[in-house]
Amino acid sequence: MATSFLGSLLGSRVRVIMEIKRQDGHGEDLLRGRSVTDVLSAYRSAAAPCLSVVTGRWFGGDDQLLDDVARLGALPILKKDFITRDSQIVAAKASGASAVLLTAGILPAQVLRRRIGTALREGLTPFVEAASEAELEAVVHGEQCIVAINNKDIRHRERDRADLDRSLALLGAARATGTPCPVSASGIEDPADAARLLDAGYEGVLVGSGLLRADSVSDWIGDLQCQRRAGVGG
């Protein structure tokens, strides 16, 4: 069975899901000549508890990227794509994923509930992403899910500015799903913003472009931890 993505995140002192993606929503090259091995090495050095691998084509991804990361081993992986069918969930597990993204904004409530059930039967963590209270109301088995608030708008291919206040406003509703692990995702560029969200009560943050643009991932994480100890994020 795949390593528990949820358990790995909650068991870590570094509550950052570190993302690997080839480009941002505007097409900016985020790998900048680095190999997947290079990026993964930097993430491991920064004590990453788990990874998000973007296979969606909007961000230059494909299933080969997931295969490449999974072959390098060890850390639990979230397959981040627009997953709509049970067959995609089964395939994600076969490729080495420990969690799958389920986007409430594109799945009717009954379909979302069925896909959550399928993921759990496959031994995967459902990573349910929402952007409103109405979308959060569709979550079932919340105690076994990560429930993430997306700070960007998928209708605009996440090319809009991040609204971190959305995460702050929806934290209570995310908690009400029963999840032990509400996560704030997308548009978190600065360690101070990550610290603010974690100090507000989020159990994790998902950071992609901010880490991939950083001169040093370890320094970015170190800055986050220092700000939390100093209470700057509160």
Specify the pLDDT at position 159.
Answer: 57
122-151: burial string, b at 16+ Cβ within 10 Å, e else: bebbbbbbbbeeebbebbbbbebbbbbbbb
Look at residue 34 and tell me whether its pLDDT is greater than 60.
yes
Query: Considering only CA atoms, which of 118, 120, 124, 17 is closest in space to residue 75?
Result: 17
Look at residue 160 and tell me whether its pLDDT is greater than 70.
no
Specify the pLDDT at position 3.
Answer: 59
pLDDT in tens, 77-96: 999 999 999 999 999 999 99
DSSP annotation string for 165-197: HHHHHHHHHHHHTT-SEEEEES---SHHHHHHH
pLDDT in tens, 95-131: 999 999 999 999 999 999 999 999 999 999 999 999 9
Q: What are phi and psi of 179, to 5 degrees?
A: -65, 140
Element (H, E) at 101: strand 99-103
The sign one gets for the Cα dihedral 194, 198, 199, 201 is positive
Question: What pTM was estimated for this model as a whole?
Answer: 0.93
Q: What are phi and psi of 206, to 5 degrees?
A: -105, 120
Average confidence score pLDDT of the chain:
93
Parse the chain into domains and list their residue ranges: 5-230
Per the structure block, which two tokens stand in for 96?
């080495």
Look at residue 2 and tell me whether its pLDDT is greater than 70.
no
State which CATH number among 3.20.20.70, 3.40.50.300, 3.40.50.2300, 3.30.413.10 fits the domain covering 5-230. 3.20.20.70
pLDDT in tens, 177-202: 999 999 999 999 999 999 999 999 99
Beta-carbon contacts of residue 180 (< 8 Å; ≥ 6 apart): 6, 10, 143, 203
